[in-house]
Amino acid sequence: MKIERHFDIAIEVKEILRLLGYKNKGPDDKILESITDEIKKCHEYLDPALAYEKINIKEKKEDRVLLGNSIVFQGKYIASKLKDCQYVVVAVSTLGKKIDEIIKSSFDSGDYLRGMIVDIIGSTAIEYINKAFWKSMIGYIKDSDIGITSRMSPGSGGWDVSEQSKIFRCVDAAPIGISLTDSNMMIPLKSTSTVYGFGKGIGITRAEHICSECSMKNCAYRMDKSVEIIVRGKSDKIIHADIGSNLLEVLRREDVFVESVCGGRGTCGKCKVIFLKGAGKPTKQDKTHLSNEEIDRGVRLACCCTLYNPAEIQTMDSCGAMNVMTEGSKVDIKIEPYVNKMYLKIDTPTLEDQRSDVKRLKSAMKIDELSVGRDLMVRIPEVLRENDFKVTAAAYKNILLDVEGGDTSNKSYGIAVDIGTTTLACYLVNLRDGKIIDLESEVNRQKIYGADVISRINYTIQERDGTSILKNCIVNQINEIIHRLCKNNSIDKRNIYNMTIVGNTTMIHLFLGLPSRNISLSPFISVTTEPMEFPASEVGISIGGFVSILPAVSSYVGSDITAGILSCGMYNSKKDCLLLDLGTNGEIALGNANGIVACSTAAGPAFEGASIKHGIGGIKGAISKIDLSKDNIYKTIGDEKPCGICGSGVMDMVSELIKYNLVDETGRMADKDEISSEILSKRMVQNGSMKEFVIDGEITFTQKDVREVQLAKAAVYAGIKVLMNEKAITDKDIEKVYIAGGFGNYMDIQSALNIGLLPKEFSGRVESIGNSAGTGARMYLLSRHCREDMKEIIKAAKYIELSGRKDFQEYFVDSMMFGDSKE
Amino acid sequence: MEILDEISEKLQAGAAPKVRQLVSDALNQGIDVKKILDALIGAMGIVGVKFKNNEVYVPEVLIAARAMNAGLEILKPILTETGIKPIGKVIIGTVAGDLHDIGKNLVKMMMVGAGLEVIDLGVDVAPQKFVSAVKEYNPDIVAMSALLTTTMPGMKKTLEALEKEGLRSKLTVMIGGAPVTENYAKEISADIYTPDAASAAEKAREAITKKVA
């Protein structure tokens, strides 16, 4: 007998709501909170265990089944179910006795609601265990011809409950604490007994129970029909969702893009959708994050919206319209890619020259160790002969990728991909001359699963298929972009022979579908940071050759930074240079030819507008510049009606607030009566307990926003200081400061110096280099020497972990203030 | 009387502390205890109707019942003092062999909310135990619950036992539980079958008022 005790039980709110009978509408916040709280703490009293035994079937008759242990299952029902089976698995499962006690004491003390909720959580949890067990059994048989019956239990279907005692003779349930009463009931109450039959060729019976086929029409637990949700947009989309499901989850599943910074926890207030029809009562979170005007208009937060009724919605379509930074510096390198495409005039075979086709190719290509795949060898004889032995061969390193008829040597392409946490950029590159043929960039679609790497990793931990969902999300998006790039430029996908990918370590893990959990937990260990190479098909990318992934330094200094180091050339420089990549995380590298130190700071999503009340990405209508001396104090991207404030605007805002003494050096916003200028004083308003500076109409900048910026800028500043300490140099020793990343390109460098994101001494030495990660990826694509250089960079780079470092903490606190930081 | 309306309103919203407070206030204002009790029962009745109409669901009923109890606790000593008796008495239990008690608890809760006195025999109640409880408490109603097809026959056996002791005729017998149906009630000659807790309380109250009338 075997016992399982490790079940990662995940209870879904919607399931509890369904079992509580909610149909047309959901509960109020108070009840919902009781449910979510109980789900959180249920693990304290759930003590799951499952014991099982595999038993061979010895003999089958019409009305009974004799097992190998001499026990006989009696009755026509069970006999017919097991008639094609060779063995059975008998299992008993339980949640332990604690939950029974809690249900009883709750009812006894008059807390009926809790009693009921715990009872239903118990029912859901025990089913969860059974399902998990079922899945593990399926895992064993899925590649064989063995099938499994549906689940059977004494007392259900046509199997008499008196057979229960036989189950308990098959499996010793005492070790997991289940006993059987004289009336064949199990104690603890939340226990089940099950039998599954296994047999060759009987197929896998998936459903344990199908509601639509069940005759108990009045069953409270019956799964109801779905509700229809119409998503209005460029083309309308109709979604059928289960009643009680969460709108954000439904939209994610259906690939409808919604901003979701916090990953659906109801804390960021960004996943707004407009209900044109069927808006429900606003939730507590709606009231916190939305204005009354928005609520009246039907705006709701998708992550807090449970679907009970048909609805018609519209999303705040910001995807795709984002201003993604794709520009990088020019690549001045010798074009020498690993992809080699050559036109060959091969000697035709004769009786005197009977060399094989492959041998002929090898000698023509002058590659001795050429490796040729089977699929290719199937085609080679025909291609050679149809084209009179005049063909073009494409190879990656010493691997033959393709053989085409005639001279196609000019059709040799590569793609450099930069997977950012927020944005995705793909460059289609001509491998002959190194020129960018075309490029496409989009918001990384994984963003709906959380704005930062930690919330994405959390998603992979919390959702059963989270890792593969995120993997498919990014792989599909890249494939779609490849498809468009090829179509728009009349290129065949097969002629793209190499793709280089950069990204932070988490993005690379998610792209490969590697477990990322340990990246988020101290001591922050990734599966790999090595340079990697895969046949494209192995990682699901639809091009003709190989996918190469650039190496990283650590979990938090990824290949986007190493690519940046490669592209700005600091590893060749004699003097020290600083590279600062300001994205969702702030990564910093400092050094020269003699060595580089790098760190990552939790700059937080403030500079991407995420943790700012009215913050948005760099989309049209985003306030990107602020100057309080002007009549019109702001400018928006595309000169459109303002819809929020993006990173560069945030930085200008704070810089201006300081300049006009609207924020003091501690970061406190001035009271209305402290402001001498009447015009500015009017803009400072009190909203509840929060001071806010009105930029335009509803768009304000709050005291909390100022605090967010303080935290972010202090983290970056302190990171820079720690690295300088590590290298034992001062501000003056730094020759060049390279600012990478989209935001870095748009931000006003003076504002960055004003608010103390960068030390004032850097003034005049700062240069924006755009998407240096993308540039590095292109260099890696085009030059084998750059690949060698990259190996050196990795060797020379040292990662500095900031968390727990005392000097970082001190610098961090010091640089929290605005104005000249005290050292 | 405004305060009684407010009690009703708060009870329906499930605000237990508020109901407790308001019931004390009402007593202090000198409002007749019977009227307060009726307000509580009336409010619970409204919740029951809303439940049947799918306007509220089990959780809302549960918190309303809790609020009801909070009010009742304040009233109880005074009700005893003034000799006001519940309108009827119910003995309830899950039948022999069956350990499920959630459904039975819900019925009990709703019946208390309807102003009935409920004696709960618990789970796994053998026919003989029902019989002796009937002898001891002399109830108006015996209510039985079963969650399994296999334990349902316990209802029939209990009815037979009551018959044998000559207790059946003066009792109203109610049955319920997931596998139980109207037809089964007819088959074993039980008096009332109800599909949910709210209607169980309502039917019980009806049966008792009919008997009194």
Q: A318 pLDDT band (50/70/90 cuts)?
A: very low
Please give the CATH number for the structural domain made up of A561-606+709-814. 3.30.420.40
Can you tell me the distance from the alpha carbon of A55 to that of A69, in angstroms, rounded to the nearest whole number?
7
Which of B44, B51, B58 is the best residue to mutate to test the A interface, defined by the most A CB atoms within 10 Å of its own CB? B58
Closest listed residue to residue B64, CA positions, set B85, B43, B94, B49:
B43
What's this model's pTM, rounded to 2 decimal places? 0.57
Residues A332-366: b if buried by 16+ CB within 10 A, e if exposed? ebeeebbbbbbebebeeeeeeeeeebeebbbebbe
* CB-based contacts of B99, cutoff 8 Å, min separation 6: A181, A185, A187, A189, B123, B124
Can you tell me the distance from the alpha carbon of A544 to that of A482, in angstroms, rounded to the nearest whole number?
12
For A45, the token pair is: 């009293």
Is B57 close to A27, i.e. CB distance below 8 A? yes
DSSP for A478-539? HHHHHHHHHHHTT--GGGEEEEEEEE-HHHHHHHHT---HHHHSTT---S--S-EEEEGGGG
Token pair 């097809």 is found at B149
Residue from the list A35, A115, A187 with its beta carbon closest to the beta carbon of B99? A187
Who has greater pLDDT, A364 or A21?
A364
Q: Does A182 touch chain B (CB under 8 A)?
A: yes
Average pLDDT over chain A, rounded to whole? 88
Is B59 close to A155, i.e. CB distance below 8 A? no
**What is the tens place of the pLDDT at every residue in A736-755?**
999 987 676 678 889 999 99
Parallel, antiparallel, or unpaired: how do β-strands A699-702 and A690-696 relate?
A: antiparallel
Give the three-class secondary structure for A423. strand
Give the three-class secondary structure for B193. strand
**What is the tens place of the pLDDT at every residue in A105-133?**
998 888 889 999 999 999 999 988 988 89
Can you tell me the distance from the alpha carbon of A444 to that of A263, in angstroms, rounded to the nearest whole number?
14
B65 interaction partners in chain A (CB closer than 8 Å): 112
Give the three-class secondary structure for A5. coil
A-chain residue closest to B66, CA distance: A110
Give the three-class secondary structure for A685. strand
Can you tell me the distance from the alpha carbon of A234 to that of A215, in angstroms, rounded to the nearest whole number?
43
Whether A561-606+709-814 and A338-549 are alike in CATH topology: the answer is yes
Residue pair A300/A279 in contact by the 8 Å Cβ criterion: yes
Is B59 close to A181, i.e. CB distance below 8 A? no
A111 interaction partners in chain B (CB closer than 8 Å): 66
Is A113 close to B124, i.e. CB distance below 8 A? no
For A14, the token pair is: 């919607």
- CATH superfamily entry for domain A226-315: Beta-grasp domain (3.10.20.30)
A185 interaction partners in chain B (CB closer than 8 Å): 97-99, 148
Can you tell me the distance from the alpha carbon of A583 to that of A716, in angstroms, rounded to the nearest whole number?
11
Whether the pLDDT of residue B138 is over 90: the answer is yes
For chain B, the residues whose C-beta falls within 8 A of a C-beta of chain A are 14, 54, 57-60, 62-63, 65-66, 69-70, 96-102, 105-106, 109, 124, 148-151, 178, 195
Residue from the list B54, B102, B178 with its beta carbon closest to the beta carbon of A23? B54
A189 interaction partners in chain B (CB closer than 8 Å): 99-100
Closest listed residue to residue A799, CA positions, set A601, A563, A603, A549:
A601
Which of A16, A30, A112, A193 is the best residue to mutate to test the B interface, defined by the most B CB atoms within 10 Å of its own CB? A112
Q: Does A221 touch chain B (CB under 8 A)?
A: no
Residue from the list B65, B66, B150 with its beta carbon closest to the beta carbon of A161? B150
Can you tell me the distance from the alpha carbon of A691 to that of A700, in angstroms, rounded to the nearest whole number?
10
Average pLDDT over residues B170-195: 92
Residue from the list B65, B98, B100 with its beta carbon closest to the beta carbon of A112? B65
DSSP state of B30: T
Which of A185, A189, A191 is the best residue to mutate to test the B interface, defined by the most B CB atoms within 10 Å of its own CB? A185
A30 interaction partners in chain B (CB closer than 8 Å): 14, 63
Read off the amino acid at residue A511.
Answer: F
* CA-to-CA separations, A403 to A328, A394, A780, in angstroms, rounded: 34, 6, 25
Domain boundaries, chain A: 2-213, 226-315, 338-549, 561-606+709-814, 608-698
Average pLDDT over residues A511-522: 92
Who has greater pLDDT, A17 or A562?
A562
B125 interaction partners in chain A (CB closer than 8 Å): none
Q: Match domain A2-213 to its CATH number in 1.10.760.10, 3.20.20.70, 3.50.50.60, 3.40.109.40.
A: 3.40.109.40
Average pLDDT over residues A31-43: 91
Is A185 close to B109, i.e. CB distance below 8 A? no
* Partner B, chain A 136-175, Cβ-Cβ below 8 Å: 155, 160-162
* Partner B, chain A 107-136, Cβ-Cβ below 8 Å: 107, 110-113, 115-117, 119
Whether the pLDDT of residue A320 is over 50: the answer is no
Token pair 């926890």 is found at A265
Is A184 close to B100, i.e. CB distance below 8 A? no
Q: A213 pLDDT band (50/70/90 cuts)?
A: very low
Q: Does A214 touch chain B (CB under 8 A)?
A: no
Residue pair A780/A568 in contact by the 8 Å Cβ criterion: no
Token pair 């996943």 is found at A271
Residue from the list B59, B66, B109 with its beta carbon closest to the beta carbon of A27? B59
B151 interaction partners in chain A (CB closer than 8 Å): 183
State the virtual CA torsion across A72, A76, A78, A83 in degrees, nearest 10.
Answer: 90
Query: In A60-210, which residue ranges form alpha helices assigned H by DSSP?
Result: 76-81, 98-108, 112-141, 164-170
DSSP state of A650: H
> How high is the ipTM of this complex?
0.85
User: How large is the greatest C-alpha to C-alpha distance in chain A, in angstroms?
Assistant: 102
Taken as a whole, chain B contains a residue count of 213
DSSP for B79-127? HHHHTPPPS-EEEEEEBTT----HHHHHHHHHHHHTT-EEEE--SSB-H
Q: Does A187 touch chain B (CB under 8 A)?
A: yes
Is A181 close to B63, i.e. CB distance below 8 A? no
Residue pair A429/A328 in contact by the 8 Å Cβ criterion: no
Can you tell me the distance from the alpha carbon of B137 to that of B139, in angstroms, rounded to the nearest whole number?
6
**What is the tens place of the pLDDT at every residue in A757-780?**
999 889 999 988 888 999 999 999
Angle (nearest 5°) at CA A491 between A507 and A549: 25
* CA-to-CA separations, A674 to A158, A663, A666, in angstroms, rounded: 82, 11, 15
Q: A134 pLDDT band (50/70/90 cuts)?
A: confident
DSSP for A453-468? HHHHHHHHHHSTTHHH
Closest listed residue to residue A657, CA positions, set A691, A689, A688, A686:
A691
- CATH superfamily entry for domain A338-549: Domain of unknown function (DUF4445) (3.30.420.480)
Who has greater pLDDT, A579 or A21?
A579
pLDDT at A208: 54
Can you tell me the distance from the alpha carbon of A82 to that of A202, in angstroms, rounded to the nearest whole number?
10
* CA-to-CA separations, B97 to A173, A182, A246, B144, B155, in angstroms, rounded: 20, 7, 40, 13, 11
Is B97 close to A119, i.e. CB distance below 8 A? no
Is A112 close to B106, i.e. CB distance below 8 A? yes
Residue from the list A31, A103, A160 with its beta carbon closest to the beta carbon of B59? A31
Which of B53, B105, B147, B193 is the best residue to mutate to test the A interface, defined by the most A CB atoms within 10 Å of its own CB? B105
Residue pair A683/A628 in contact by the 8 Å Cβ criterion: no
Can you tell me the distance from the alpha carbon of A410 to that of A704, in angstroms, rounded to the nearest whole number?
57
How many Å lie between the alpha carbon of B65 and the closest alpha carbon of chain A?
Answer: 8
Percent of chain A residues topping a pLDDT of 90: 52
Can you tell me the distance from the alpha carbon of A18 to that of A542, in angstroms, rounded to the nearest whole number?
42
For A384, the token pair is: 């050679």
B-chain residue closest to A117, CA distance: B59
* Partner B, chain A 715-734, Cβ-Cβ below 8 Å: none
Is B102 close to A31, i.e. CB distance below 8 A? no
DSSP for A338-391? SEEEEEEEPPPP-SS----HHHHHHHHHT-TT-B--HHHHHHHHHHHHHTTTEE
B59 interaction partners in chain A (CB closer than 8 Å): 20, 27, 31, 34-35, 113, 116-117
Q: Which domains, ranges and CATH numbers included, belong to chain B? A: 2-82 (1.10.1240.10), 89-212 (3.40.50.280)
Which of B99, B155, B199 is the best residue to mutate to test the A interface, defined by the most A CB atoms within 10 Å of its own CB? B99
Closest listed residue to residue B89, CA positions, set B182, B160, B171, B1:
B171
Can you tell me the distance from the alpha carbon of A104 to that of A117, in angstroms, rounded to the nearest whole number?
12
Can you tell me the distance from the alpha carbon of A674 to that of A12, in angstroms, rounded to the nearest whole number?
51
Lowest mean pLDDT segment, chosen from A609-623, B104-118, B151-165: A609-623
How many Å lie between the alpha carbon of A251 and the closest alpha carbon of chain B?
Answer: 27
Q: Does A685 touch chain B (CB under 8 A)?
A: no
**What is the tens place of the pLDDT at every residue in A146-190?**
888 888 888 777 788 889 999 999 999 999 999 988 878 889 999
Is B150 close to A155, i.e. CB distance below 8 A? yes
For A593, the token pair is: 């030819």
Read off the amino acid at residue A251.
Answer: L
pLDDT at A220: 54
Residue from the list A27, A160, A183 with its beta carbon closest to the beta carbon of B151? A183
A-chain residue closest to B70, CA distance: A110
**What is the tens place of the pLDDT at every residue in A659-686?**
999 998 888 899 988 888 888 999 999 8
Residue pair A172/A51 in contact by the 8 Å Cβ criterion: yes
Closest listed residue to residue A757, CA positions, set A787, A788, A720, A800:
A720
* CA-to-CA separations, A569 to A415, A565, A592, A786, B52, in angstroms, rounded: 22, 6, 9, 11, 74
Parallel, antiparallel, or unpaired: how do β-strands A146-148 and A87-94 relate?
A: unpaired
Can you tell me the distance from the alpha carbon of B22 to that of B14, in angstroms, rounded to the nearest whole number?
13
